[in-house]
Amino acid sequence: AEPAAGSRALDEVKIGGLGSSRPRVEDARFIRGRGNYVEDVTLPGMLHMEILRSPLAHARIKSIDTSAAWAIPGVKLVLTGEMAAQRNLAWMPTLSYDTQAVLATDKVRFQGQEVACVVAEDPYIAKDACDAIVVEYEALPPIVNPEQAVAPGAPLIRDDKSGQADNIAYQWEVGDKDGTDAAFAKADVVSKLRLHYPRSHPSPIENCGAVADFNNATGKLTVYMTSQAPHIVRAAVALIAELPEHLIRIISPDVGGGFGNKVPVYPGYVCAILCSILTAKPVKWIEDNTGNLSSTGFGRDMYLDSEMALTNDGKILAVRYHATTDQGAFFADAQPTKFKIGLVHSSFACYDVPVGHITAQGMYTNKAPGGVAYRCSFRVTEAMFFQERMIQAAADDLGMDQAEFRRRNLVRDDQFPYRTPFGFLTDSGQYLKCLQIGLDAIGYDDFLVEQAEARKQGRLLGIGISTMTEPLGAGNSREYDILGIKMFDSAELRVHPTGKAVLKIGAQTQGQGHETTFAQIVTHELGIPATDIVVEHGDTDHTPFGMGTYASRSTPVAGAATAMVARKIRAKARKLAAHLLEVSEEDVEWELGRFFVRGAESRGVTIQECAMAAYSNMPDGMEPGLENNAYYDPPNLTWPFACYIATVEVDPETGVWDVLRFVGVDDCGVRINPMIVEGQIMGGLTEAYAMSNMQFQTYDADGNLVGANYMDYLLPTAWETPGFELHEVVTPSPHHPIGAKGVGECAAVGGPAAYVNAVMNALRPTGVRNIDMPLLPDRVWHAAHTGQDVS
């Protein structure tokens, strides 16, 4: 039977379009051990590189003796900073317009810093040869926190930089200072809080690594590397190494997790490339766990001093805070050029706050550099954690129920698009509805009764809420660029004669399932079954220029480009359909997968028939073929919303806390693949749980890293991770072509405050206002028994 006119000829979900929880196509190779990671790449004649790292946090290099290393059979090259300097490669630019040492020449500035590297026939010889290098150091006093960095007489860490007389990396401010001061003058209550979001590490399962292959006959450099942004790396290599960009090919094969850690270009990559150029052989470098944990981009390490101006009846009049970041030895944040402290000022976007003012300062310390967006949009995790901790403290200071305080201040549905106090424009949302669904699901009122009863018996039950919207999908080219390159993204679509298609995207999956979901967008636009579409990415010679995958930008930006390129294909297919149906284009109607003649619905042609015609029967004057590309510059960021609620019980005897229940309500607009979205949320809530109660990476007074291995820096397993009860609300993004908003990082961003607020709520009778993360049992015990905050 013919489909009814205007009806969907195909059941979109059945052919794998929007809303289909189709299984992840990439898992077919991952679960069979057929993934292809950098470590799997083996090239003829390939050599192996290992890095010698500094044991000291701060020291002058007096001498480096490499003679014993050169003497070991199988060693092909020992590279020092001095040799790199001869090629102008001892230093490289960072994504924050600072410089970073590739191999130390003058001083070492953090424990684990790259000092030299060895290339040998196998990685074991290279490692032994590293041990044979003798470096004479003159120890200098290390600086291990921002307070020490600005103390009188503090040693200057960045004495390499002309004009740098102190340890301050940057200063920044945003908002309306005078307006904020005026609002504080009128406040009934001023609520204050000091917090630290500790250094945490993205810890992807696959560490960094590369195979650099410089062909001295053709001049072509091919680098296989585990990167979240291969096109940016190509541009960076062209700029840093001054190689011609058209002769550089970056291939990111399967990437075993990134979480922001694999955005920057690290010294190891530059060394591998230089070593391949010098030896004229492919050079493989695979980082070990300690190398990754001690030298690659960390997340967070931000201190907050905050104040909130309130009325007695619970309205927020203004917020102001000062943020201090511990940058480590080099300012290497991965962030848009304009924003020195990322998008910290996206805090309070979901609350109707009239005015605010933020100041920020970054300090150099003798620690590894980083400040990467660990599963978040450029320091948005810190922003939302601080926001939600401040919200709870303010509700407590007012003696007001925390859910009611949120209800009074959340932006209402009729206020969109909403301009935040720091200048963002949020796109859409139903915040109060999400909150209510969450409260109903957890049984909020009943829990409060249970909590009061439990307190009478000396049991400590707590409930914590975290509500937040965050900016995902950086970003429009007016505001967002990295090293001057605007943050658009791209897609190229080729439909073959039989109607099968290849989609090439500028984004780079690291496990998020793009090969599955991006095909679904094409299915939605063209009606080609998702199984007939392959998605390719990660090879700069064969994909359009993209800014990479981080900050949950793939769906908002590359996903939008995918919809737009499919629409270009459909527009051409419509012309082909008119030709095949022998009617004018205006008389051709579209339903999923098929064009038909208006008024004669049974006369139609499928998208596959149009594809064949593009190569075999095109109208006179039409260019053959059915392919196109699209570059998408988003008009705005997308603003998903989340409400996370945790209930916990704290054991007063041990300080151990258990999650009783966890409810999540996410609104990420239209869900492309609901199963993948739920997986993203559960993964994020798991990471949030780990950050809040077990992960700790710190430095002792001598600058030794504590947490340089996975015995000390803990990864959550299924054993301790709580179960999650998930709910959804769908408010489409008004400016995204398919109404989707990003989601990948929401739970990692919003989750930590839910857990911490729950523990603090449990301890409320003790008078404790704050325990800094991670909420380890000894900290919780100490707070519960002394009534003192723990920082």
Give catalytic residue positions.
228, 375-376, 745
Q: Does 740 bind ligand CDP (CB under 6 A)?
A: yes
Q: How many helices (H) and strands (E) does the chain have?
A: 19, 35
Q: CA 698, CA 705: separation in Å to the nearest integer? A: 6
Shortest CB 515 distance to ligand CDP, Å: 9
Shortest CB 158 distance to ligand CDP, Å: 33
Contact present, 791 and 770 (Cβ < 8 Å): yes
Residues from 600 through 639 that contact ligand CDP (CB under 6 A): none
| Only segment of 163-171, 246-254, 603-611, 673-681 that touches ligand CDP (CB under 6 A) | 673-681
Out of 77, 144, 672, 753, name the contact with ligand CDP by CB under 6 A. Answer: 672
| 345's tokens | 């000022």
Shortest CB 777 distance to ligand CDP, Å: 33
Q: Does 676 bind ligand CDP (CB under 6 A)?
A: yes
Question: Nearer Cβ to ligand CDP, position 76 or 671?
Answer: 671
Q: Does 17 bind ligand CDP (CB under 6 A)?
A: no
**209-215 vs 283-286, strand pairing mode:** antiparallel
Cis amide linkage into residue 734, ω under 30° from 0: no
Q: CA 72, CA 401: separation in Å to the nearest integer? A: 70
Per-residue string for binding with ligand CDP, 84-103, x by CB under 6 A?
Answer: --------------------
Contact present, 264 and 94 (Cβ < 8 Å): yes
| 593's tokens | 């997968």
Out of 671, 735, 769, 779, name the contact with ligand CDP by CB under 6 A. Answer: 671
Shortest CB 518 distance to ligand CDP, Å: 7
CB half-sphere exposure, 423, CA atoms < 13 A: 11
Q: CA 2, CA 619: separation in Å to the nearest integer? A: 27
| Only segment of 177-185, 377-385, 523-531, 662-670 that touches ligand CDP (CB under 6 A) | 662-670
DSSP 669: B
Nearest 5°: CA angle at 309, between 304 and 310? 130
Q: CA 51, CA 126: separation in Å to the nearest integer? A: 8
Q: Does 685 bind ligand CDP (CB under 6 A)?
A: no
Q: Does 474 bind ligand CDP (CB under 6 A)?
A: no
Which three-class secondary structure state does DSSP give residue 758?
helix
Q: Does 743 bind ligand CDP (CB under 6 A)?
A: yes
Give the Cβ contact number of residue 567 at 10 Å. 14
Give the Cβ contact number of residue 185 at 10 Å. 10
Residue closest to ligand CDP (Cβ): 744
Q: Does 299 bind ligand CDP (CB under 6 A)?
A: no
Q: Does 276 bind ligand CDP (CB under 6 A)?
A: no
Q: Does 744 bind ligand CDP (CB under 6 A)?
A: yes
| 609's tokens | 């028939």
> Which of 8, 25, 28, 11 minimizes the C-alpha distance to 517?
25
Residues from 498 through 537 that contact ligand CDP (CB under 6 A): 512-514, 517
Q: CA 505, CA 558: separation in Å to the nearest integer? A: 7
Out of 146, 209, 742, 752, name the contact with ligand CDP by CB under 6 A. Answer: 742
Per-residue string for binding with ligand CDP, 530-559, x by CB under 6 A?
Answer: -------------------x--xxxx----
Shortest CB 237 distance to ligand CDP, Å: 23
Question: Which residues is 200 bridged to in the sheet?
Answer: 299
| Only segment of 99-107, 625-633, 643-651, 676-684 that touches ligand CDP (CB under 6 A) | 676-684
Shortest CB 446 distance to ligand CDP, Å: 32
Nearest 5°: CA angle at 119, between 118 and 122? 115
Shortest CB 485 distance to ligand CDP, Å: 18
What residues line the site for ligand CDP (CB under 6 A)? 512-514, 517, 549, 552-555, 668-673, 676-677, 680, 740-744
